[in-house]
């Protein structure tokens, strides 16, 4: 840890702050999008849009929201997230397989 | 636990040391002792089963007790014997193979062990409290949901607790292998045992949550009146089967893959050649792990999933034979042209190849969905899975124990006794299980308490029982060998096999910080690379300096003890709600310990340079 | 260097949660745990989807669920996700006070969410006689949503403990990974909720 004890040059600290602000801006934008998607999802159901159309759209909106959550809020887009991404995709693959099974070959 | 404590200590101090240890080498020993203990219990249950089936219409044990025996034999062997023995090898070896001083989460490592231990004890307490679980190790609903008494409740709580421990251990090994490798130890320089541990841990991570959920649903149905498997209220019993096998099929790869890795290391060491087709072996391991998740429904061909689902799962299952075949041939080519030394470890490994291949072949037979309707629930299946699990996993554990015993205990297991144990076990194994394929084809169903006279099943069953006794003799000789070795055999140095990988570059048993200086890895089989360059040991990657080590803690033991107490509360609150007190006390102990853990800073301790220099003078460095 | 020193903002590394080996391990291990949790919740969702037609009498998803309440709960949880993002933002800028404040807001929003969920369950049980035991659908519904609620409760206790424990100490390299993993956990709870409101409530209402 010795390499961290030295004081940081001022310009680097400023640069980092700017970077953080930039990232925060992206996160606020993704939050706004998520709220928007939620409004659309609830709106469609309350308006009674045909279920043949609405179910795929609902699922799509949910998946996009979750992508925002994972990549922006949880920083999966940043460097050093290869292994977390690998394991999340692994989990998602098994999850998908499980859900397909339970909706198709479980009888009735 | 600094090195100064290594002086003369009383028994109580030693016990306290093991209760609080976070050292991966000591945790390996704990896994070994408790896994070995449960292996003997499971073996005893197997003997009782075989004695019961020795002759037609036998009445050696009652029908109910027989059901408990088969259930507990399967459950014990898979969850309480094979898994911990594999974890014993992983804990003892993997950190050393990658040049690490400890695992990534020493505290969680200890917690994983104690959870497994208390889960196993809880399960076995059922023998003394009115009957063990009796619905088969697969515990299918509704047989399990309607089973009277508390046997199945013990199954649910015991496996839930020990399963949590396994999940923790899996995450721990994943992070250890990713973050704790020594400089130069790239992924494609890792020994095969480390690679297979990595893939296995990923399988644990994705497979065990399905079991967790399955057990929760079963627990809610049996103890809290929910209706998941109650058809009268709209439940569906197939949910259990799917959840169980989504976990259960990866589980058999979780069992076999680490030993594939162990065999790979053993073959290359005792052939004095680098492993043939290293990258193909890595690829095959990953591929088996991947395909392992796509095939679970081949256990359910006769359930009525329909021809399309059956065909998909049949083809996926057969595909696994391809990477497994790659492995078999690579092992053969590793030996081909090598300077082979037939040690006991090598004997078990060589015997594994044909035995496991037979199991693989019957596996492909069973994968043919149409034919499976004939084999399903007969002794053919019993023969098949014992060929892969005994011929693969148990042979592998014996081979791995012989190979790494000097690293764990500083003494080589006696070779004569080692071979003497091998032959009766090997012959007994084939006597017991080969004939069972034919018994199955003749129509003998599995899990039946008795078979009848005059159906041509007598001779086969008698041969099978005789074989089981041979296996028992082999096991007893192995135990004698352990005692004999501990008393009579001399201490050996760090590298008794003239081996190739990092764990052999340090003393046996290693000091508790493993490496005085982290080694620099310069290629596959790093120790061999140095030997070929005419050096005696590894080149250090860092100057001699203070080493940071974690502190021991009693909290993992307390957390697990709390779960154990709460387990009894959950089981018996059905009869009398005052047992809920046990739930609150138990969960209180567990959560309280967790809170203590997070409120109290634990920064570990340092081993100072001066102590290390003193150790080097005593010969620890090389 | 002792971990207990409150770090001078000028000396704090860029990613305080990953500056030590322990921090790196925690970060990775926790992500992997979330990978496993994905399978856990998938198994619960699968069970729910397999059983959501197994209703008893009038208590079908369409009749039971009221979207207004679910909408409010969704807004609460989504917002709490943003507030914990703000907390991590201030952690990276080494502003301990603001980080604590945003976490307190997160906990408050989470508590409100949990309160609404308890009210919802209470409402179903007393108004509709729809319980854990009344049908396979009931069992599956309460188990799935209840598991999520249990996660919320655990997360609240965890973050509260962190806030109280470190109030006097400030941010350092020892507790930064703890804060960071807690915020990951909180986001994951939100991920699960997105699927719950979509699959259970909205799709249940559509039929």
* Residue B308: predicted pLDDT: 92
* Residue A15: predicted pLDDT: 87
Q: Give the residue from B359, B211, B335, B177 showing the smallest Cα distance to B263.
A: B335
Choose the mutation target among C51, C200, C206 for the interface with A, i.e. most A CBs under 10 Å: C206
A67 with A29, same domain: the answer is: yes
- Contact call for B242 and A101, based on CB within 8 A: yes
Inside any domain, residue A62: yes
Is the confidence at residue C14, as pLDDT, over 80?
no
Inside any domain, residue A1: no
Q: Give the residue from B120, B447, B233, B18 showing the smallest Cα distance to C139.
A: B233
- Contact call for A55 and C203, based on CB within 8 A: yes
Domains and CATH numbers, chain B: 11-413+441-459+485-504 (1.20.210.10)
Is the confidence at residue C37, as pLDDT, over 50?
yes
Indicate the pLDDT class of residue A7, thresholds 50, 70 and 90: low
d(CA B72, CA B76): 6
Is the confidence at residue B621, as pLDDT, over 60?
no
- Over residues B542-558, the mean pLDDT reads 94
User: Per the structure, how many domains does chain A have?
Assistant: 2
User: Hey, is the C-beta of A24 within 8 angstroms of any chain C C-beta?
Assistant: yes
- Can you count the helices (H) and strands (E) in chain B? 21, 2
Give the domain extent around C196: 64-206
Contacts of B239 in chain A (CB under 8 A): 102, 106
A71 with A84, same domain: the answer is: no
Note the ipTM here.
Answer: 0.94
Is the confidence at residue C6, as pLDDT, over 70?
no
Is the confidence at residue C19, as pLDDT, over 90?
no
| Residues from B in contact with A at Cβ < 8 Å | 174, 178, 202, 205-206, 210, 236, 238-239, 242, 246, 293-294, 297, 304-306, 309
Backbone phi, psi, residue B548, to 5°: -95, 125
A32 with A60, same domain: the answer is: yes
CA B319 to chain centre: 25
A49 with A94, same domain: the answer is: no
Q: Give the residue from B375, B421, B274 showing the smallest Cα distance to B334.
A: B274
- Contact call for A101 and C46, based on CB within 8 A: yes
Is the confidence at residue C9, as pLDDT, over 60?
no
Q: What is the pLDDT of residues A91-108, one digit of tens each?
A: 999 999 999 999 998 875
Nearest to B239 among A97, A104, A106 (CB): A106
Indicate the pLDDT class of residue B603, thresholds 50, 70 and 90: confident
Contacts of B235 in chain C (CB under 8 A): 51, 54, 136, 139
Greater model confidence, B325 or C14: B325
Catalogue the E-assigned strands of B487-609: 547-549, 605-607
Which residue of chain A has the CA closest to B307? A105
* Residue B224: predicted pLDDT: 95
* Residue A105: predicted pLDDT: 83
Backbone phi, psi, residue B549, to 5°: -130, 150
Q: Count B/C contacts: CB-CB distance under 8 Å.
A: 115
Q: Could you say which residues from 596 to 615 on chain B have a Cβ atom under 8 Å away from some Cβ of chain C? A: 598-599, 601, 603
End-to-end CA distance of chain B: 22
Indicate the pLDDT class of residue C4, thresholds 50, 70 and 90: very low
Contact assessment for residue B161 and residue B590, using Cβ atoms and an 8 Å cutoff: no
Give the domain extent around A45: 8-77
Inside any domain, residue A69: yes
* Residue C15: predicted pLDDT: 81
d(CA A68, CA A76): 10
- Contact call for C85 and A27, based on CB within 8 A: yes
A65 with A92, same domain: the answer is: no
A21 with A37, same domain: the answer is: yes
Q: What is the pLDDT of residues B178-229, one digit of tens each?
A: 999 999 999 999 999 999 999 999 999 999 999 999 999 999 999 999 999 9
User: Percent of chain B having pLDDT more than 70?
Assistant: 98
Inside any domain, residue C41: no
CB neighbourhood size of A55 (10 A): 18
- Contact call for B171 and C137, based on CB within 8 A: no
Q: Give the minimum alpha-carbon distance from C41 to chain B in angstroms, rounded to a whole number.
A: 8
Contact assessment for residue B218 and residue B145, using Cβ atoms and an 8 Å cutoff: yes
User: Hey, is the C-beta of B246 within 8 angstroms of any chain C C-beta?
Assistant: yes
Residue C70 is part of a domain; what is its CATH number? 1.20.120.80
Q: Give the residue from B142, B123, B141 showing the smallest Cα distance to B133.
A: B123
Contact assessment for residue B295 and residue B313, using Cβ atoms and an 8 Å cutoff: yes
Contacts of C42 in chain A (CB under 8 A): 91, 94-96, 98-99
Q: Which chains touch B (3 or more CB pairs under 8 A)?
A: A, C
Q: What is the pLDDT of residues B233-249, one digit of tens each?
A: 999 999 999 999 999 99
Choose the mutation target among A80, A84, A97, A106 for the interface with C, i.e. most C CBs under 10 Å: A84
Backbone phi, psi, residue B445, to 5°: -75, 150
CA atoms within 13 A on the CB side of B418: 21
- Over residues B449-468, the mean pLDDT reads 96
- Contact call for C25 and B234, based on CB within 8 A: no
Inside any domain, residue C48: no
The pLDDT mean for chain B works out to 95
* Residue C58: predicted pLDDT: 85
Q: Give the minimum alpha-carbon distance from A63 to chain B in angstroms, rounded to a whole number.
A: 21
Choose the mutation target among B206, B247, B294, B302 for the interface with A, i.e. most A CBs under 10 Å: B206
d(CA B397, CA B327): 18
Choose the mutation target among C39, C130, C137 for the interface with B, i.e. most B CBs under 10 Å: C39
A71 with A26, same domain: the answer is: yes
Nearest to C206 among A55, A80, A106 (CB): A55
Which residue of chain C has the CA closest to A73? C85
Indicate the pLDDT class of residue B63, thresholds 50, 70 and 90: very high
Is the confidence at residue B586, as pLDDT, over 90?
yes
Q: Give the minimum alpha-carbon distance from A33 to chain C in angstroms, rounded to a whole number.
A: 11
Indicate the pLDDT class of residue B616, thresholds 50, 70 and 90: confident
Contacts of B111 (CB under 8 A, 6+ apart): B165, B168, B555, B556, B559, B560
- Contact call for A91 and C38, based on CB within 8 A: yes
Is the confidence at residue A1, as pLDDT, over 50?
no
- Over residues B452-474, the mean pLDDT reads 97
Omega of the bond leading into B509 within 30 degrees of 0 (cis) = yes
For CA atoms A43, A48, A53, A56, the dihedral sign is positive
Omega of the bond leading into A50 within 30 degrees of 0 (cis) = no
Q: What is the pLDDT of residues B275-318, one digit of tens each?
A: 999 999 999 999 999 999 999 999 999 999 999 999 999 999 99
The pLDDT mean for chain C works out to 92
Judged by average pLDDT, the poorest of A2-6, B84-88, B302-306, B395-399 is: A2-6
SS3 B191: coil
Is the confidence at residue B617, as pLDDT, over 60?
yes
A65 with A90, same domain: the answer is: no
User: Hey, is the C-beta of A102 within 8 angstroms of any chain B C-beta?
Assistant: yes
Q: Give the minimum alpha-carbon distance from B540 to chain A in angstroms, rounded to a whole number.
A: 20
Greater model confidence, B199 or C19: B199
A83 with A70, same domain: the answer is: no
Indicate the pLDDT class of residue A9, thresholds 50, 70 and 90: confident
- Over residues B335-356, the mean pLDDT reads 97
Is the confidence at residue A4, as pLDDT, over 60?
no
Q: What is the pLDDT of residues A33-70, one digit of tens each?
A: 999 999 999 999 999 888 889 999 999 999 999 999 99
Inside any domain, residue C59: no
Inside any domain, residue C47: no
Q: Give the minimum alpha-carbon distance from A48 to chain C in angstroms, rounded to a whole number.
A: 8
- How far apart, in Å, are the Cα atoms of A100 and each of B38, B211, B279, B298, B587? 38, 18, 34, 16, 36
* Residue A8: predicted pLDDT: 65
* Residue C11: predicted pLDDT: 65
A31 with A55, same domain: the answer is: yes
SS3 B288: helix
* Residue A3: predicted pLDDT: 44
Which residue of chain B has the CA closest to A84? B175
DSSP state of B290: H
- Contact call for C25 and B228, based on CB within 8 A: no
Is the confidence at residue B8, as pLDDT, over 80?
no
Is the confidence at residue B323, as pLDDT, over 90?
yes
A97 with A47, same domain: the answer is: no
d(CA B166, CA B111): 10
Is the confidence at residue C3, as pLDDT, over 70?
no
Q: Give the residue from B239, B242, B284, B238 showing the smallest Cα distance to B261.
A: B284
Q: Give the minimum alpha-carbon distance from B431 to chain C in angstroms, rounded to a whole number.
A: 41
Q: Give the residue from B230, B305, B292, B259 showing the smallest Cα distance to B89.
A: B259
Indicate the pLDDT class of residue B536, thresholds 50, 70 and 90: confident
Q: Give the minimum alpha-carbon distance from C170 to chain B in angstroms, rounded to a whole number.
A: 14
Nearest to A87 among B205, B239, B294 (CB): B205
User: Hey, is the C-beta of A99 within 8 angstroms of any chain C C-beta?
Assistant: yes
Q: Give the minimum alpha-carbon distance from A37 to chain C in angstroms, rounded to a whole number.
A: 11
Task: Please calculate the CA angle B188-B191-B197 and round it to the nearest 5 degrees.
Answer: 100
Compute and round to an integer the Cα radius of gyration of chain C.
20
Inside any domain, residue C129: yes
Is the confidence at residue C84, as pLDDT, over 90?
yes
Backbone phi, psi, residue B488, to 5°: -100, -35
Inside any domain, residue C133: yes
Greater model confidence, B54 or B600: B54
Burial of C118 (0-12, 13-18, 19+ CB in 10 A): exposed
User: Per the structure, how many domains does chain C have?
Assistant: 1
Contacts of A93 in chain B (CB under 8 A): 293
* Residue B143: predicted pLDDT: 95
Output the DSSP codes for B2-58.
-GGGGS---HHHHHHHHHH---HHHHHHHHHHHHHHHHHHHHHHHHHHHHHTSSTT-
């Amino acid at each position: 840890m010795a390499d961290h004890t030295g004081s940081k040059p001022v310009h680097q600290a400023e640069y980092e702050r700017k970077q953080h602000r930039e990232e925060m801006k992206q996160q606020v934008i993704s939050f706004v999008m998520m709220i928007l998607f939620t409004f659309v999802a609830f709106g469609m159901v309350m308006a009674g849009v045909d279920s043949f159309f609405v179910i795929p759209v609902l699922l799509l909106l949910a998946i996009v929201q979750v992508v925002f959550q994972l990549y922006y809020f949880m920083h999966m887009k940043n460097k050093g997230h290869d292994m977390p991404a690998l394991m999340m995709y692994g989990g998602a693959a098994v999850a998908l397989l499980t859900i397909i099974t339970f909706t198709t070959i479980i009888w009735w | 636990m600094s090195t100064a404590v290594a002086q003369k200590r009383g028994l109580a101090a030693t016990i306290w040391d093991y209760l609080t240890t976070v050292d991966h080498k000591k945790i390996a020993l704990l896994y070994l002792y408790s896994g070995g203990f449960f292996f003997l219990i499971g073996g005893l249950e197997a003997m009782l089963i075989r004695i019961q089936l020795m002759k037609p219409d036998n009445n050696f044990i009652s029908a109910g007790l027989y059901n408990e025996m088969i259930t507990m034999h399967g459950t014990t062997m898979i969850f309480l014997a094979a898994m911990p023995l594999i974890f014993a090898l992983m804990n003892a070896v993997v950190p050393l193979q990658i040049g690490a001083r400890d695992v990534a989460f020493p505290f969680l490592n200890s917690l994983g062990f104690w959870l497994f231990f208390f889960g196993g004890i809880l399960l076995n307490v059922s023998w003394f409290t009115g009957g063990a679980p009796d619905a088969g190790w697969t515990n299918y609903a509704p047989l399990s949901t309607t089973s009277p008494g508390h046997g199945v409740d013990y199954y649910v709580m015991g496996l839930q607790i020990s399963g949590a421990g396994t999940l923790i251990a899996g995450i721990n090994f994943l992070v250890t292998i990713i973050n704790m490798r020594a400089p130069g130890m790239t992924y494609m320089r890792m020994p095969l045992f480390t690679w297979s541990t990595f893939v296995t841990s990923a399988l644990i991570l994705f497979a065990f949550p399905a079991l967790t959920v399955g057990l929760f649903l079963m627990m809610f149905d049996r103890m809290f009146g929910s209706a998941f498997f109650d058809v009268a209220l709209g439940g569906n019993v197939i949910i259990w089967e799917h959840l169980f096998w989504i976990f259960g099929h990866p589980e058999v790869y979780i069992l076999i893959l680490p030993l594939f890795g162990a065999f790979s290391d053993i073959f290359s060491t005792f052939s004095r050649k680098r492993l043939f087709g290293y990258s193909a072996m890595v690829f095959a391991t990953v591929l088996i792990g991947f395909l392992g998740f796509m095939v679970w429904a081949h256990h359910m061909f006769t359930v009525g999933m329909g021809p399309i689902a059956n065909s998909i799962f049949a083809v996926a299952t057969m595909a696994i034979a391809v990477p497994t075949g790659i492995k078999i041939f690579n092992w053969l080519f590793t030996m081909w042209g090598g300077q082979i030394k037939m040690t006991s470890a090598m004997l078990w490994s060589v015997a594994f190849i044909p035995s496991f291949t037979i199991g693989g072949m019957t596996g492909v037979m069973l994968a043919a969905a149409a034919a499976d309707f004939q084999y399903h629930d007969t002794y053919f299946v019993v023969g098949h899975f014992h060929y892969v699990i005994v011929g693969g996993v148990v042979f592998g554990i014996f081979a791995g124990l012989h190979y790494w015993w000097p690293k764990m205990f500083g003494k080589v297991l006696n070779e004569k006794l080692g071979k003497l144990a091998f032959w009766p076990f090997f012959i007994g194994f084939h006597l017991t299980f080969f004939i069972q394929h034919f018994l199955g084809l003749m129509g003998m169903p599995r899990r039946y308490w008795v078979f009848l006279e005059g159906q041509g099943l007598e001779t086969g069953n008698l041969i099978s029982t005789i074989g089981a006794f041979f296996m028992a003799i082999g096991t007893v000789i192995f135990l004698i060998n352990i005692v004999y070795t501990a008393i009579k055999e001399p201490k050996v140095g760090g590298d008794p096999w003239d081996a190739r990988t990092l764990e052999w570059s340090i003393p046996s048993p290693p000091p508790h910080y493993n490496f005085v200086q982290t080694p620099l890895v310069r290629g596959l089989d790093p120790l061999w690379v140095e030997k070929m360059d005419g050096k005696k040991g590894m080149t250090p990657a860092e100057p001699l300096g203070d080493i940071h080590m974690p502190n021991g803690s009693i909290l993992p033991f307390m957390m697990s003890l709390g779960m154990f107490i709460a387990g009894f509360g959950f089981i018996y609150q059905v009869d009398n709600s005052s047992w809920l007190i046990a739930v609150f006390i138990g969960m209180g102990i567990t959560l309280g310990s967790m809170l203590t853990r997070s409120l109290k800073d634990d920064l570990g301790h340092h081993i100072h340079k001066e102590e290390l220099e003193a150790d080097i003078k005593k010969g620890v460095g090389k | 260097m002792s971990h207990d020193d409150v770090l001078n903002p000028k000396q704090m590394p860029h990613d305080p949660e990953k500056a030590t080996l322990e921090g790196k391990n925690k970060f990775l291990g926790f992500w992997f745990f979330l990978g496993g949790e994905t399978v856990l919740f998938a198994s619960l969702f699968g069970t729910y989807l397999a059983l959501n037609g197994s209703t008893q009498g009038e208590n079908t998803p369409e009749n039971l669920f009221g979207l207004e309440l679910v909408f409010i709960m969704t807004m609460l949880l989504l917002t709490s996700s943003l507030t914990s993002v703000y907390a991590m933002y201030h952690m990276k800028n080494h502003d301990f006070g603001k980080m604590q404040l945003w976490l307190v807001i997160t906990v408050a929003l989470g508590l409100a969410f949990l309160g609404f969920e308890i009210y919802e369950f209470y409402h179903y049980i007393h108004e509709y006689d729809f319980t854990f035991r009344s049908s396979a659908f009931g069992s599956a519904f309460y188990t799935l949503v209840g598991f999520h609620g249990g996660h919320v409760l655990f997360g609240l206790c965890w973050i509260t403990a962190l806030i109280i424990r470190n109030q006097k100490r400030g941010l350092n390299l020892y507790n930064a990974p703890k804060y960071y993993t807690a915020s990951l956990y909180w986001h994951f709870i939100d991920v699960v909720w997105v699927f719950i409101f979509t699959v259970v409530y909205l799709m249940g209402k559509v039929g």
